[in-house]
Amino acid sequence: MLAWVVDRPGPISTGPLVAVERREPHPARGEVRVAVSVCGVCRTDLHLAEGDLPPRRSGVVPGHEVVGVVDEVGEDVSRFRLGDRIGIAWLRSTCGSCRFCRRGDENLCTSPGFTGWDADGGYAPWAVVDERFAHRIPDGFDDATAAPLLCAGIIGYRALRRADPPPGGRLGIYGFGASAHLAAQVALAEGQTVHVMTRAPSARRLALELGAASAGGASDPPPEPLDAAILFAPAGELVPTALEALDRGGTLAIAGIHLSDVPTLVYQRHLFQERQLRSVTANTRADGREFLDLAERIDIRVATTHYPMEQADRALADLAGDRVEGAAVLHVDRMP
């Protein structure tokens, strides 16, 4: 089969993503193979391709928002059958025995595995996964709509919970791409007032269409103090800006796996009066189940930009250049 792999990480303009011939994978004990229909394009894929995330193995196939149909099962598989439609997400394994796993915080596992980083992902016609870490796809979503939910949606949901806005609170969102536009809808459904700060005019328009109370530039002050904020843009220089926008007792959650350097913080201006700064690390399987159920109940809208699989490199370049509205989705359609 033909698959895209990260060859030599570097700026996207240097072509770090290349198409190569690979053998079809087959499931081991407890695994299922998925005939991939679509794969979402996540900013984490871009960080991997450009080297912001150091590769954990040479020539890995990226992609961790994978939707398709089970077409082969390994021994001792019990959750899924041939023909089931399932999704493969970022978190693909945990040790199950460390102190974090034992207390239910498997996102902090000391020996985790991740799709498209430790093991091959969905920029290919087939992918395998341990059935315990696969997700059932709600019937209310078609494949292309479901794919971004598997990382952009789940991580946005966890970031919203980490930001912990009070009931009827004022939430600020910095950056408005795939994850942010989904988290915003959850917040709005839960009665939050949402203010968006982002540099792309098209993203500001989308935010207003979805119901945001305001949409301004990335470093603009919101029209009112914030009870909570989420930083989705991988821009450390926005951390002081977002902290200054918080009201007393407010929390800023940083949603990304990679962030540029944060400037010096001034305690009195940025953190005093019990403002909090929190990071977000991966997700638990429970996060995934909760979010997918909620997304179906609120009929979440997923804005997507579509690419054929043979244009995966272009999709990443467009993502790097802020030319993607919502989430980019690759249609696999079996590369010839």
Which pairs count as long-range contacts for 264-270, CB under 8 Å and 24+ apart, including other chains? 265/239, 265/240, 266/240, 269/240, 269/243, 269/244, 270/240, 270/243, 270/244
* DSSP 8-state class, residue 119: B
Amino acid 59: pLDDT: 95
- 175 and 134 in one domain? no
In a domain, 318, yes or no: yes
In a domain, 246, yes or no: yes
Question: Which alpha helices (H) appear in 35-80, and where do they start and end?
Answer: 43-50
pLDDT digits (tens, 9 = 90+) for 273-327: 999 999 999 999 999 999 999 999 999 999 999 999 999 999 999 999 989 989 9
- 222 and 134 in one domain? no
Cα–Cα dist 137/196, whole Å: 29
- 160 and 133 in one domain? no
Q: What is the mean pLDDT of residues 150-175?
A: 98
Here the tokens at position 110 are 């000391």
- 158 and 135 in one domain? no
- 15 and 105 in one domain? yes
Reply yes or no on whether the pLDDT at 5 is more than 60: yes
- 181 and 112 in one domain? no
Reply yes or no on whether the pLDDT at 336 is more than 50: no
* DSSP 8-state class, residue 321: T
CB 213 within 8 A of CB 236: no
Reply yes or no on whether the pLDDT at 37 is more than 80: yes
What's the mean per-residue pLDDT of the chain?
96
Sorting pLDDT into bands at 50, 70 and 90, what band is 137? very high
- 192 and 91 in one domain? no
| DSSP secondary structure, 179-204, as one string | HHHHHHHHHHHTT-EEEEE-S-HHHH
Here the tokens at position 69 are 């149909």
Query: Which class for 81: exposed (0-12), middle (13-18), buried (19 or more C-beta within 10 A)?
Result: exposed
- 170 and 130 in one domain? no
Q: What is the mean pLDDT of residues 153-159?
A: 98
Here the tokens at position 204 are 């500001």
Instruction: Tell me if residue 156 falls in helix, strand or coil.
Output: helix
Which residues face 4 on adjacent strands?
A: 19
CA distance from start to end of the chain? 8
Amino acid 147: pLDDT: 98
- 132 and 205 in one domain? no
Amino acid 55: pLDDT: 86
pLDDT digits (tens, 9 = 90+) for 164-194: 999 999 999 999 999 999 999 999 999 999 9
Spatial strand order of the sheet with 214-216 comes to 214-216, 193-197, 170-174, 226-231, 246-254, 276-279
Reply yes or no on whether the pLDDT at 122 is more than 60: yes
- 161 and 70 in one domain? no
Q: Which residues contact 184 (CB under 8 A, 6 or more apart)?
A: 173, 176, 194, 196, 207, 210, 211, 212
The percent of residues in the chain predicted with pLDDT above 90, rounded, is: 96
In a domain, 20, yes or no: yes
Q: What is the mean pLDDT of residues 45-71?
A: 95
In a domain, 327, yes or no: yes
**pTM of the shown model:** 0.94
Reply yes or no on whether the pLDDT at 335 is more than 50: no
* DSSP 8-state class, residue 274: T
- 319 and 270 in one domain? no
Q: Would you mind telling me the total number of residues written for the chain in this entry?
A: 336
In a domain, 149, yes or no: no
Tell me the CATH number at 42: 3.90.180.10
The percent of residues in the chain predicted with pLDDT above 70, rounded, is: 99
- 267 and 326 in one domain? no
In a domain, 168, yes or no: yes
Amino acid 332: pLDDT: 86
Cα–Cα dist 40/12, whole Å: 18
In a domain, 76, yes or no: yes
Domain that holds residue 176: 154-279
Q: Is the dihedral of CA 64, 323, 308, 53 positive or negative?
A: negative
Amino acid 294: pLDDT: 98
Residue spans of beta strands (DSSP E) within the chain: 2-6, 17-21, 31-41, 66-73, 85-88, 91-93, 113-114, 126-130, 134-136, 170-174, 193-197, 214-216, 226-231, 246-254, 276-279, 304-308, 327-331
- Return the CA Rg of the chain: 19
In a domain, 286, yes or no: no
Instruction: Tell me if residue 246 falls in helix, strand or coil.
Output: strand
Of 1-5, 23-27, 55-59, 198-202, the least confident: 55-59
CB 243 within 8 A of CB 163: no
What's the structural domain count of the chain?
2
Amino acid 302: pLDDT: 96
CB 87 within 8 A of CB 146: yes
Tell me the CATH number at 164: 3.40.50.720
